[in-house]
Amino acid sequence: MHRMVKTKLSPRQLMILASGFSFGTTPLVLPSSMAKLAGPDVWLSILFGMATGMLFIWIYAKLGELNPDKTFVEDIKLYFGKWAGGLVVVLFIISALVLTDQAVWYMGDFIHTEFVPDFPVLPIHVLFIAVLAFALWCGVETMYRTTELLFAFLFTFIIVAILMLIPNMKPENLLPVMEKGVPPVLKGSILYIASCVLPLVFLNMVYPVCFENVKESKKALFKGYLLGAFTNLITVTVCVIVMGSNLVSNIRFPMFITSKEINIFVIFSRIEAVTFSIWMSVSFISAFSYAYAGIFGLAQLLKMKNYKILVLPIGLLLAVYSLNIYTNTSYQIKWDMTVWPLFSFTLGFILPLVLLIMSIIRKIKGKNPI
């Protein structure tokens, strides 16, 4: 097989990547969907989802540890064989590219709805994908170094924004606790896991093959997941505390609307533009990771030496398909709450679990992957 030049990343970059990937577009759309399912118990849903998510992260970390010199695509081809593995890899690649377009659609819908309702959506998508293609062309190392520089500012602003919302918080909005029992909490947890945990399987395209110290990168993966999960917990809970679960469940972009409530001495007010910049940056991390997984995976499937050749044609396809990824907002909400959890469970749990079991069996038999 033709091997591409290895990219080397640091454990700190993986931690930042995992936290940003887990956080992703969550604050834009998830609070509303979770509030519909769990009501004021969204914080319990996220806590349960966080705890359960540790199992999935362990599967991803262990799979990488047993196959330190291979990407997720190479694992699939190795353990499933040429033909079956090829079909599964194609499904994985298509899924990664579809998820890239989902992230593009979310951001386009957000900008179109909140800032330029009279402006066509397609130019917004094209601009976002053009920047994405440029980042892919620059390479994963350049992108993640840039993310490392943005990290301190992004999370500092989130903390400051939450602190400035304290005067608007109403703790009674979290009551009553578990009024309708356990089922709503579990439903909210399933949606959280499907949206914020299982997609991290795409990071196995860079972990651990892009890291020299597998042990340290494994720790960084868990740290990044927990950091992103706690950020999700805080931001979603703040939405409910400030506005109440009933209002949150009927708002399209709860966290953005919540940020409009900030008004301290007139000076610190109307900071939603900064909030928009934060969500755009974090969403870009998710979109880049999905796109890189899909394009790099396709390059490995085709045994190409350089994935960058595929950036332009795939970028054009993403731009064309971005308008059709969802027919409308109602369809997007229904698909994300009903179809996506099942698909995500298959791709993010069943597939890596089967690969992990096969890796363990191979190790027990003393046959190291070549």
Tens of pLDDT along 100-120?
Answer: 999 999 989 888 888 888 889
**Nearest alpha carbon to residue 199 among 285, 109, 317:** 285
The model's confidence at residue 370, banded by pLDDT at 50, 70 and 90, is very low
The pLDDT of residue 165 is 84
Cα gap 191→342, rounded to integer Å: 10
Cα gap 289→97, rounded to integer Å: 10
| 55-69, 126-140, 260-274: segment of lowest average pLDDT | 260-274
CA 171, 173, 176, 177: dihedral to nearest 10 degrees?
A: -70
Q: Name the burial class of residue 179, with classes exposed (0-12), middle (13-18) and buried (19+) by CB atoms within 10 angstroms of its CB.
A: exposed
The pLDDT of residue 2 is 44
Residue 3 predicted with pLDDT over 60:
no
**What pTM does this model have?**
0.91
- Of residues 31 and 275, the one with the higher pLDDT is 31
pLDDT > 70 fraction of the chain, expressed in percent and rounded: 93
In this prediction, residues 23-29 reach a mean pLDDT of 67
In this prediction, residues 327-351 reach a mean pLDDT of 91
Residue 301 predicted with pLDDT over 80:
yes
Cα gap 84→91, rounded to integer Å: 11
4 DSSP 8-state letter: P
**Nearest alpha carbon to residue 23 among 256, 240, 236:** 236
Residue 184, preceding bond cis, omega within 30 degrees?
no
The model's confidence at residue 235, banded by pLDDT at 50, 70 and 90, is confident
In this prediction, residues 302-317 reach a mean pLDDT of 93
Contact predicate 132/287, CB 8 Å: yes
Residue 271 predicted with pLDDT over 70:
no
Alpha helix (H) ranges present in the chain?
11-23, 26-38, 42-66, 72-80, 82-114, 121-138, 140-164, 182-192, 214-243, 245-248, 254-259, 272-301, 311-321, 329-334, 340-345, 351-364
Phi, psi values for residue 4, rounded to 5°: -80, 160
**pLDDT, mean over the chain:** 88
Q: By three-state DSSP, how is residue 279 classified?
A: helix
The pLDDT of residue 309 is 94
Contact predicate 207/7, CB 8 Å: no
The pLDDT of residue 263 is 67
> What domains sit in the chain, N to C, each tagged with a CATH number?
11-356 (1.20.1740.10)
The pLDDT of residue 8 is 76
Cα gap 240→178, rounded to integer Å: 15
Q: Name the burial class of residue 248, with classes exposed (0-12), middle (13-18) and buried (19+) by CB atoms within 10 angstroms of its CB.
A: buried
The pLDDT of residue 354 is 97
- Of residues 257 and 346, the one with the higher pLDDT is 346
The model's confidence at residue 161, banded by pLDDT at 50, 70 and 90, is confident
In this prediction, residues 342-362 reach a mean pLDDT of 95
In this prediction, residues 137-143 reach a mean pLDDT of 89
